[in-house]
């Protein structure tokens, strides 16, 4: 069952069948050995070429670390396959009958026809030896890490490097070989094993820092390995992008993984803004709302992770224990009763206080965020730099909330538009108090936004503000309400 994958035991390297690391599910063993020998020879040839070409500088690059590990994997795996082939031929040549009793450590564990407990016990046995577990670790790094490197190189790091056979082998064929080997072999994959690839990358990043501190240079004599890891001029966007690339390999259900990635992205930008703007950060309505958006995603991701954990626990319980009454945090299942029963059932408030706080944060982040996006680009924008930070807070904020609205099941009530209105009214009151206290913006001017300069407040802007609050805001909330209705309609198909 899929639920079994989420046991803590699966962080370990255990498996009941040793020969899964040597054989193919599709090919005969001689053909599989031939394939692995060819791939091993090809990659070893390119490894020796790179050692000759780059000498000592070869292994300062993450690509070459991973290409070396890929070579070790194929040499190791090919050796195990050859040993398995040799043993099979030896047995056939000797024509010895198979010994009765328990299967040996190099043979398949046959699951009997007994009850479920017998099957579970047989499949729970760890028959791997140390060398199988070492191979498994190497496989995880070569496969998951290799595909990650391919994606990262061609989307981020590629800078007009020569696209020759060497480049293609290390940055494209590496992934092709590992995907093919994964498809042809019987080697298992555990969802939790992504952490070992993550640890591998963390070790490399630590190495790159030490190499920089030691005054190391790349092949071009520059004081960094990759320009993106130039710690003399390290860009915050690079750090955020690196975190996103690492987290994208989370082996979790899609919705939880999506929320984790969005949360990490926004938290990264929030940290950057706090560092960049210091105390003046939270005089701006945009940053109020961006902070609330971050709290919403942290809160929402936490609830999703808790729900995931509870689902996994339920899967482990016997069916008779899962058939009890629905608790206050679970869905209300409507029975086949009459309409009055249905209405009564739907009128029950099953939410706890933390769900209600979360819902309130959602309304402010969604309706308030869309309102800010509309107001910024139509009224407040005055030639500000359209950089990643600006786009994240004034455009992607809305994109994230619309996507989350569409993917989640959170409801929207039409009358809830009054809460963003109250929120915006509180901010306007704050801006007045800040002005009365002689507060200044980042440029030392006696207002937060030029449109809210109460020393020279324009009547036309006052009217426009009222229109945006009492007309545009409920319309935007109505649009989000329509998104939820479309979502619910499509989910029933």
Whole-angstrom Cα distance, residue 439 to residue 433?
Answer: 9
Task: State the average pLDDT over residues 50-60.
Answer: 84
What pLDDT score does 387 carry?
A: 84
What pLDDT score does 413 carry?
A: 93
- Check residues 232 and 472 and name the one with the higher pLDDT: 472
* pLDDT range class, residue 316, cuts 50, 70, 90: low
What pLDDT score does 113 carry?
A: 39
* pLDDT range class, residue 40, cuts 50, 70, 90: very high
What pLDDT score does 47 carry?
A: 93
* pLDDT range class, residue 109, cuts 50, 70, 90: very low
What pLDDT score does 285 carry?
A: 92
212-258 per-position pLDDT tens digit: 888 888 888 888 888 777 777 766 656 665 565 555 544 445 677 67
Of 112, 90, 109, 108, the closest CA to residue 22 belongs to 108
Task: State the average pLDDT over residues 193-209.
Answer: 84
Q: Do 140 and 72 contact (CB within 8 A), yes or no?
A: no
What pLDDT score does 3 carry?
A: 56
What pLDDT score does 35 carry?
A: 93
376-430 per-position pLDDT tens digit: 888 888 777 888 888 889 998 999 999 888 888 899 999 999 999 999 999 999 9
Residue 131: Cβ within 10 Å count: 13
Q: Do 242 and 80 contact (CB within 8 A), yes or no?
A: no
Q: Which of 185-199, 319-333, 363-377 has the highest mean pLDDT?
A: 363-377
* pLDDT range class, residue 18, cuts 50, 70, 90: confident
Place of tokens 């190499």: 211
* pLDDT range class, residue 331, cuts 50, 70, 90: very low
Lowest average pLDDT, out of 120-134, 225-239, 437-451, goes to 225-239
Task: State the average pLDDT over residues 260-282.
Answer: 84
* pLDDT range class, residue 133, cuts 50, 70, 90: very high
What pLDDT score does 192 carry?
A: 81
Distances (CA, A) of 332 to 287, 313, 335, 336, 352: 37, 19, 9, 13, 14
pLDDT at 116 over 80: no
Q: For the whole model, what pTM was predicted? A: 0.49
Task: State the average pLDDT over residues 296-319.
Answer: 76
Domain segments of the chain: what residues? 8-93+127-216, 252-317+352-491
What pLDDT score does 65 carry?
A: 93
137-192 per-position pLDDT tens digit: 999 999 988 888 888 888 777 777 788 899 899 998 998 999 899 888 888 888 88
Task: State the average pLDDT over residues 22-42.
Answer: 91
* pLDDT range class, residue 112, cuts 50, 70, 90: very low
Across the chain, mean pLDDT equals 80
* Tokens standing for residue 43: 């990659």
* pLDDT range class, residue 264, cuts 50, 70, 90: confident
End-to-end CA distance of the chain: 27
Task: State the average pLDDT over residues 6-26.
Answer: 83
Lowest average pLDDT, out of 155-159, 347-351, 444-448, goes to 155-159
Whole-angstrom Cα distance, residue 424 to residue 152?
Answer: 41
Of 283, 278, 240, the closest CA to residue 391 belongs to 240
What pLDDT score does 96 carry?
A: 56
pLDDT at 102 over 50: no
SS3 track for the chain? CHHHHHCHHHHCCCCCCHHHHCCECCCCHHHHHHHHHHHHHHHHHHHHHHHHHHHHHHHHCHHHHHHHHHHHHHHHHHHHHHHHHHHHHHHHHHCCCCCCCCCCCCCCCCCCCCCHHHHHHHHCCCCCCHHHHHHHHHHHHHHHHHHHHHHHHHHHHCCCCCCCHHHHHHHHHHHHHHHHHHHHECCCCCHHHHHHHHHHHHHHHHHHHHHHHCCCCCCCCCCCCCHHHCHHHCCHHHHHHHHHHHHCCCCCCHHHHHHHHHHHHHHHHHHHHHHHHHHHHHHCHHHHHHHHHHHHHHHHHHHHHHHHHHHHHHHHCCHHHHCCCCCCCCCCCCCCCCHHHHHHHHCCCCCCHHHHHHHHHHHHHHHHHHHHHHHHHHHHCCCCCCCHHHHHHHHHHHHHHHHHHHHCCCCCCHHHHHHHHHHHHHHHHHHHHHHHCCCCCCCCCCCCCHHHCHHHCCHHHHHHHHHHHHHHHHHHHHHHHHHHHHHHHHHCC
Longest dimension (CA), the chain: 101
Lowest average pLDDT, out of 39-48, 54-63, 337-346, goes to 337-346
Q: Do 454 and 390 contact (CB within 8 A), yes or no?
A: no
What pLDDT score does 41 carry?
A: 96
């Amino acid at each position: 069952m899929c639920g079994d994958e989420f046991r803590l035991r699966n962080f370990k390297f255990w498996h009941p069948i040793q020969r899964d690391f040597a054989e193919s599910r599709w090919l005969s063993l001689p053909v599989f050995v031939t394939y692995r020998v060819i791939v091993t020879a090809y990659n070893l040839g390119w490894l020796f070429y790179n050692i000759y070409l780059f000498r000592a500088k070869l292994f300062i690059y993450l690509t070459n670390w991973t290409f070396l590990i890929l070579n070790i994997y194929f040499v190791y795996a090919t050796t195990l396959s050859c040993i398995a082939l040799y043993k099979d031929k030896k047995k056939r040549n000797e024509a010895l009958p198979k010994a009765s009793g328990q299967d040996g450590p190099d043979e398949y564990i046959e699951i009997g026809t007994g009850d479920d407990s017998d099957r579970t016990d047989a499949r729970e046995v760890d028959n791997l030896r140390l060398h199988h577990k070492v191979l498994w670790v190497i496989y995880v790094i070569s496969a998951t890490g290799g595909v990650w490197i391919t994606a990262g190189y061609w989307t981020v790091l590629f800078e007009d490097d020569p696209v020759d056979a060497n480049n293609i082998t290390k940055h494209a064929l590496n992934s092709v070989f590992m995907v093919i080997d994964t498809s042809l072999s019987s080697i298992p994959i555990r969802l939790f094993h992504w952490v070992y690839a993550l640890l591998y990358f963390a070790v490399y990043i630590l190495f790159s820092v030490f190499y920089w501190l030691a005054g190391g240079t790349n092949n071009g004599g520059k004081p960094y390995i990759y320009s993106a890891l130039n710690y003399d001029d390290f860009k915050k966007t690079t750090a955020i992008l690196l975190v996103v690339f690492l987290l994208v390999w989370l082996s979790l259900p899609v919705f939880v993984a999506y929320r984790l990635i969005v949360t990490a992205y926004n938290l990264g930008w929030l940290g950057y803004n706090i560092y960049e703007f210091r105390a003046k950060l939270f005089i701006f309505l945009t940053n109020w709302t961006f902070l609330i958006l971050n709290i919403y995603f942290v809160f929402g991701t936490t609830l999703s992770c808790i729900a995931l954990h509870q689902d996994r626990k339920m899967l482990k319980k016997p069916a008779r224990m899962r058939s009890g009454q629905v608790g206050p945090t679970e869905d209300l299942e409507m029975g086949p009763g009459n309409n009055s029963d249905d209405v009564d059932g739907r009128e029950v408030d099953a939410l706890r206080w933390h769900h209600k706080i979360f819902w309130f944060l959602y309304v402010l982040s969604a309706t308030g965020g869309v309102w800010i996006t509309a107001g910024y680009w139509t009224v407040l924008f005055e030639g500000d730099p359209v950089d990643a930070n600006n786009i994240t807070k004034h455009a992607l904020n809305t994109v994230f909330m619309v996507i989350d609205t569409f993917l989640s099941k959170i409801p929207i009530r039409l009358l809830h538009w009054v809460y963003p209105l109250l929120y915006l009214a509180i901010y306007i009151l704050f801006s007045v108090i800040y002005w009365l206290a002689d507060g200044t913006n980042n440029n030392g001017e006696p207002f937060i936004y030029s449109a809210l300069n109460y020393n020279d407040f324009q009547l036309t802007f006052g009217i426009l503000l009222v229109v945006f609050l009492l007309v545009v805001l409920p319309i935007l909330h109505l649009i989000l309400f329509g998104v939820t209705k479309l979502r619910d309609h499509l989910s029933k198909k």
